[in-house]
Structure 1
Amino acid sequence: MTPNAASASSGPSRRSFLASTAVATAAVAGGMPLLAACGGSESGSRDGTTSGKDAKKILPAFVANNVVTPDIPSKNGSAVGFYNKLDPAGLKTSVPKKLGKGGKVTVMSPFWGSPPKGDNPYYTAMNDLTGVDVVWQNQDGNTYDQKLGAVLASSSIPDVVVVPGWNMGGKIPSAILSKFADLGPYLSGDAVKEYPNLAAIPTDAWQRSIFGGKLRALPMPSSYVANIVPFYRKDLFEKEGYAVPKTTDEFVALAKEITNAKAKVWACGDMKWTAFNSFGVPSGGEKPLGWIVQDGKLVNRIELDAYLEALEWSRKLFEAGYVHPDFKLGKSQAVDPSTKFAAGEFLIYNNDISSWWGQQASQAAQNPEFQIWGMDILSHGGADPVIYATQPANIFAFVNKKASEAVIRDVLAVANATAAPYGTKEYMLTNYGVEGTHYTVKDGVPTKNDKGNQEVANAFLMIASPAATIAHPDLPDVTKGAVEWQQRMGAFTKKSAFYGMQITEPSRWTNLSNDFEQLEDDIVRGRKKIGDMQAAVSDWKKKGGDQLRDWYQKLLDENGTAAG
């Protein structure tokens, strides 16, 4: 991918966004657990839980796109992978003719950094490609939820509004139902075939785009395989003769072997996220995903013995002194581990899969021996891990309910171009800009220049994107490693009861579980005890948890599950 693009660790809001999109890495990997604390993570409404027969009437037909053949096809929910050198002369065409009719479309979208001028070469080239005059109303991504609320409460709403999943708190879900158009007449069933690249978007991502019983959004698809990888220093493991652990017990034994505080070397960072996956705890990234059916009854992740066991295992790593001291300072996601990991102060940590390429690329010049790699999710108790799926889409583009058919058709024309697969002219223009102006290709590796990094960002790919893609011709081993990791972990991945659904909990229970993430981190660091969590769970039940369970059960009874 782009060797000089911004890494996924360049600031909390930026990091959260990049971890969920293709902007820096073309690795659409889904939201980090951090997103649960980024201003709300539920969306839609009770009616938006459409599934089963009702959903089949709404969903677009799936038609695989055969314009480009990936070097590694998707398997077990993984992204597709491309690692071969890019040949600019061999790029395919997936949009043979302009579908736009020359109309003007306004788009409001979050932007991180300084937005480019409206007449820049990138915007001009994209408008020429699509046949649509797209006018951007970029807003500061760090305060986007505030702007979003104000705009949706007004009478002046742009033609297209991009809404990240982590901004769907408060009154946003109800505004989505009242302010945005039903795209079903244009995309449901065979109608989508008029837009071949949209027809190739995975069905799960479209399922996630159903709000209030109608197809209201264009999605940015992501792999549903857990995106938090236990990374390790492969070069140092090989140098020291360390065996990669396969179980939680082996991990603890290795941590003891590695740690030498006097030499300022520790085994790991905070491994809580990996512990949850290893012990079979449902995702905490979004509230509906935390519910599973166990012995015929809905159970929340915080009620599981595995939840406490994962916290206790993580706590023991801290207590034994195996965790780098920096991680004791606060919440695990508040620590940027890249510098000290690269310096060899600790050898294992967990982070979003997008950082695999970012870390390796950033060390290429000054530390050529450096090699980051991903270990498989650890097994526990002699059984294979049970990993719970994340959501198959996390960023959405909506069309104003007042938009004319001509405007909607122009929006879909743009989306059909931006959803083009890697290896096409449309993908390169959408993600890299104009060759020679925004990027160059040397030895089969496209590299953005400063103008490319400034202008070709946070824009057209927000309207719609292709199936999850990992493409790094500069680091082919990383591409293979990341996709194959997803494929192996995907074999152990299970979809929970409300996977892929858009759900907003009743407001009276919105804050019911707000304090649990902080309590988790306090327990892991020894500031609180497991008993404190048990007490918190008991309070949760009394204050509405049991009622919330009944509410979810009714949803499940009425709508069934979208999990396959």
Structure 2
Amino acid sequence: MTPNSASAAPSRRSFLASSAVAAAAVAGGLPLLAACGGSDGGSGGGTTSGKDAKKLLPSYAANNVVTPDIPARNGSAVGFTGPLDLAGLKTSVPKKLGAGGKVTIMSPFWGSPPKQDNAYYRGMNDLIGVDVVWQNQDGNTYEQKLGAVLASSSVPDVVVIPGWNMGGKIPSAITGKFADLGPYLSGDKVKKYPNLAAIPTDAWQRCIFGGKLRGLPMPASYVTNIVPFYRKDIFDREGYRLPRSADEFMALAKDITNARAKRWACLDMKWTAFNVFGVLSGSEKPLGWELVDGKLIYRVETQEYLEALEWTRKLFAAGYVHPDAELGKSAQTDSGPKFAAGEFLIYNDDISQWYSRTAEQAAQNPDFKISGMDVFGHDGGAPTLWATQPANIFAFVSKKAPESVVRDVLAVADVTAAPYGTKEYMLTNYGVEGTHYTVENGVPVKNDKGNNEVINAYVMVASPAATVAHPDFPDVARAQVEWQQRMGAVTKKSSFYGMQIAEPSRWTNLSNDFEQLEDDIVRGHKKISDMQQAVSDWRSKGGDRLRDWYKKLLDDNGPAAG
């Protein structure tokens, strides 16, 4: 399990191509993708940062109930590598904060929702002191349901909204429909809820919508979640050396590839190429802007962007990329069996696959070993990586909710935000011991009832600081966190890092076609000159005016990152 490990993949469409990926991620408390920008329904939009934001944010107070084996550093998650000792679990919520009221929560759900009256829901509600009633909705069509509910006069007490569902009119609906939580959480008021107080300030910054603190966050590491994975067992056996530059990677790819033997070097490495060449983040539109010599530059306007596409195109053109990758990006998600079979030795994907691939192969392929390359600079020097967002899924409370309901919702959140190694965390993430899981050699193992009931629910309300814990594969947990720490040391925060920004509606779809054009170029269907023309068109159709809008936003508010 990888609760709250970082994830803000560059392509919402490709990463969510498989609902199984979404389900697995959310079941593990794993934030998926960042918001794609929104619409304020008019010409406005904007954000809140600087001094104005500081007045709204909860005071941070570290939670010392549990000490992680690997502390957070350089934006990494915290890591736990020891076996679980159920007898030694700590208590982070010593008394029920709920007043026994009823709270309805609408949330996306992947799979078949359990019946409301199940052992997991009963156990959680009893611990919290609140009667939570779940209105689970199909995660694959959640955006449509969300739009309909927010357009109506009947909104549940709590609505969970992932960042990738914040398109169209959703951002303006958030401002219009949901309560200001500042009177309950701003400044030292949050100390009534110690687990919420321990959520990093960056994550709370993302919860400011329309000038008010409206959301409860699911925090994430801001370090890039895209890891260049490789078959360490085969590399060791064949004597392959890890590349330290773009040219060395190309030479390694040539050495590995033998099409007659059904072995190719890699899958589509575009995501890694963007990191290798220092391209600004594409995980959320505002992150793609950076102030350079007094002028805001968008990621697609940079030379690094073109160089990354050209390098990836050369990998395809030379025949080093597995043929499946020619068929489309879905091959990236369904790559497990062929990676295990050694048909290709390198691919890039979410950091959570470090664990999932290891767990998949542990019994049937004991020699299998996956590891992650450190991202290298294209010229052999240190890379320049760009931070992703520190929270991507949010829970909101209806404006119509009375104070008693708001307090009960915060009681729920204080339990679900409990840190790993506590009784509250175990119940939230694993259910009731003996009913939903057993612990074998310090490793919690869910049974069928646990797999059916303890998914997609309470973890969506709020979560602790980004955490990586695999009691069954502690070496993987350590490797993940240490990779984040090394990559975090070369990570920069771009001009709009941490801000919750709603772009004006007339421009918010302006850059939607770039991703498809990128993929056409790297597969040889289009040319670099086509991208240069597309960028020119983007500027004339509104890109330059959008630049001016962002520049005024920056001048008025200042950057969120210190």
Out of 117, 135, 145, which is 2:133 matched to?
Answer: 135
CA 193–390 in structure 1, closer or farther in 2 if over 3 Å, else same: same
Aligned-pair CA distance for 1:506: 1.2
Q: Aligned to 1:288, which of 271, 286, 307? A: 286
Name the residue aligned to 1:191: 189
User: Are residue 434 (structure 1) and residue 440 (structure 2) matched?
Assistant: no
Query: How far, CA to CA, are the matches of 2:290 and 2:365 in structure 1?
Result: 45
Are 2:377 and 1:371 aligned? no
Measured in 2, the distance between the counterparts of 1:553 and 1:16 equals 35
CA distance in 1, matches of 2:114, 2:172: 32
Corresponding residue for residue 457 of structure 2: 459
The alignment's TM-score, normalised by the length of structure 1, stands at: 0.95
Where does residue 328 of structure 2 map in the other structure?
A: 330
1:276-315 pair list within 5 angstroms: 276-315=274-313
What's the CA shift for 1:383? 2.9
Separation in 2, partners of 1:457, 1:10: 18
Displacement of 1:331 after TM fit? 3.0
The amino acid across from 1:300 in the alignment is: Y
Q: Counterparts in 2 of 1:90-169, with a 5 A limit?
A: 90-169=88-167
What are the within-5 Å matches in structure 2 for residues 526-541 of structure 1? 526-541=524-539
Deviations 1:341-395 (Å, cap 9, x if unpaired)?
1110000000000111000000011111000000001212243111011110000
C-alpha change, 1:507 and 1:48, in structure 2 (3 Å) is: closer
Residue 15 of structure 1 is matched in structure 2 by 21
Where does the alignment leave 5 or more consecutive residues of structure 1 unmatched?
none
Q: How far, CA to CA, are the matches of 2:387 and 2:503 in structure 1? A: 20
Secondary structure of residue in 2 paired with 1:138: strand
Which of 238, 241, 256 pairs up with 1:240? 238
C-alpha displacement at 1:14, in angstroms?
4.1
Q: What secondary structure is seen at the aligned counterpart in 2 of 1:186?
A: helix
Q: In 2, Cα distance between the equivalents of 1:359 and 1:43?
A: 38
Residues 106 and 135, structure 2, Cα contact 8 Å, conserved in 1: yes
CA distances 1:401-439 after superposition (whole Å, capped 9, x unpaired): 011111000000010000000000000000000011111
| Matched residue type, 2:494 | S
Q: Distance in 2 between matches of 1:70 and 1:334?
A: 33
- Whether the aligned pair in 2 keeps the contact of 1:48 and 1:214 (CA below 8 Å) is no
- Deviation at residue 184 of structure 1 after TM alignment: 0.2
- Within 5 Å, give how 1:319-468 maps onto structure 2: 319-331=317-329, 335-468=333-466
CA distance in 1, matches of 2:93, 2:180: 24
User: Are the aligned partners of 1:50 and 1:559 in contact in 2 as well (CA < 8 Å)?
Assistant: yes
1:213 match: 211
- What is the CA deviation profile of residues 300-331 of structure 1, one whole-angstrom value per residue up to 9, with x for unaligned ones? 00000000000000000001111001001123
* Structure 1 residues 10 and 540, CA gap change in structure 2 (3 angstroms): closer
- The answer for the alignment partner of 2:550 in structure 1 is 552
**In 2, distance between residues paired with 1:102 and 1:144?**
29
2:272 & 2:246 partners in 1: Cα distance?
10
- Write the deviation string for residues 127-150 of structure 1: whole angstroms up to 9, x where unpaired: 000000000000000000011111
- Identity percentage of aligned residues: 75
1:317 maps to 315
Instruction: Say whether 1:473 aligns with 2:467.
Output: no
1:83 match: 81
Partner of 2:492: 494
> Contact 1:48/1:503 (CA < 8 Å) preserved in 2?
yes
Q: 1:442 corresponds to which letter in structure 2? A: E
Number of paired residues? 550
State the SS of the aligned residue for 2:506: helix
Partner SS, residue 508 of structure 1: coil
Task: Please report how far the alpha carbon of residue 333 of structure 1 lies from its aligned counterpart in structure 2 after TM superposition.
Answer: 6.4
Sort the Cα spacing of 1:473 and 1:187 in 2 relative to 1 into closer, same or farther, 3 A. same
Aligned to 2:12: none
Counterpart-to-counterpart distance in 1, 2:362 and 2:356: 10
Structure 1: distance between partners of 2:351 and 2:383? 18
CA RMSD of aligned residues (A): 1.7
Q: Please report how far the alpha carbon of residue 249 of structure 1 lies from its aligned counterpart in structure 2 after TM superposition.
A: 1.4
Q: CA deviation at 1:511?
A: 1.8
Distance 2:110 2:32 in 1: 18
Contact 2:2 2:468 in 1 (8 A): no
Shift of 1:502: 1.0
Q: Could you give the per-residue CA deviations for residues 281-312 of structure 1, whole angstroms, max 9, x where no partner exists?
A: 01111111110111111000000000000000
Q: Distance in 2 between matches of 1:327 and 1:102?
A: 53
In the alignment, the residues of structure 2 paired with residue 173 and residue 163 of structure 1 have an alpha-carbon distance, to the nearest angstrom, of 10
Q: Tell me the secondary structure at the aligned position of residue 219 of structure 1.
A: strand
SS of the residue corresponding to residue 367 of structure 1 reads coil
Distance 1:380 1:334, change over 3 A: closer
AA at the equivalent of 1:519: L
User: Are residues 138 and 29 of structure 1, via their aligned partners in 2, closer, same or farther at CA, if it must alter by over 3 Å?
Assistant: closer
**What is the CA-CA distance between 1:29 and the residue it aligns to?**
5.7
Residue 43 of structure 1, CA deviation: 7.2
Query: What is the match of residue 50 of structure 1?
Result: 48
Question: Is contact 1:2–1:447 with CA below 8 Å preserved after alignment?
Answer: no
Compared with structure 1, are the counterparts of its residues 455 and 485 closer, same or farther at alpha carbon in structure 2 (3 Å cutoff)?
same
Q: Distance in 1 between matches of 2:309 and 2:494?
A: 21
Residues 1:508 and 1:44: Cα distance change in structure 2 (over 3 Å): closer
The CA distance in 1 between the partners of 2:109 and 2:78, in whole Å, is 27
* Structure 2: distance between partners of 1:291 and 1:218: 26
Letter of the structure 2 residue corresponding to residue 84 of structure 1: G
Work out the CA distance in 1 between the residues paired with 2:438 and 2:241. Answer: 41
Please state whether the residue corresponding to 1:397 is helix, strand or coil.
strand
Q: Deviations over 1:113-138 (max 9, x none)?
A: 11001110000000000000000000
Q: How does 1:220-259 map to 2 (within 5 A)?
A: 220-259=218-257
Find the aligned partners of 2:526 and 2:197 in 1 and give their Cα distance: 50
Does the 8 Å contact 2:245/2:381 carry over to 1?
no
Shift of 1:246: 1.9
Provide the rounded CA distance (Å) in 2 between the counterparts of 1:561 and 1:330. 37
Report the Cα offset of residue 16 of structure 1.
4.2
Against the structure 1 CA distance between its residues 442 and 288, is the aligned structure 2 distance closer, same or farther, given a 3 Å change threshold?
same
Change (3 A) 1:10 1:557: closer
Alignment-mate amino acid for residue 12 of structure 1: S
Q: Is the 8 A contact 1:86 1:445 kept in 2?
A: yes
Structure 1 runs of 4+ with >6 Å offset: none
- With the length of structure 2 as denominator, give the TM-score of the two structures: 0.95
Question: Quick check: 1:261 aligned with 2:259?
Answer: yes
CA 1:333 to 1:215, structure 2 compared with 1: closer, same or farther past 3 Å?
Answer: farther
Q: Secondary structure at the match of 1:507?
A: coil
* Offset, 1:470: 0.5
Q: Is the 8 A contact 1:82 1:471 kept in 2?
A: yes
| CA distance in 2 between partners of 1:270 and 1:44 (Å) | 36
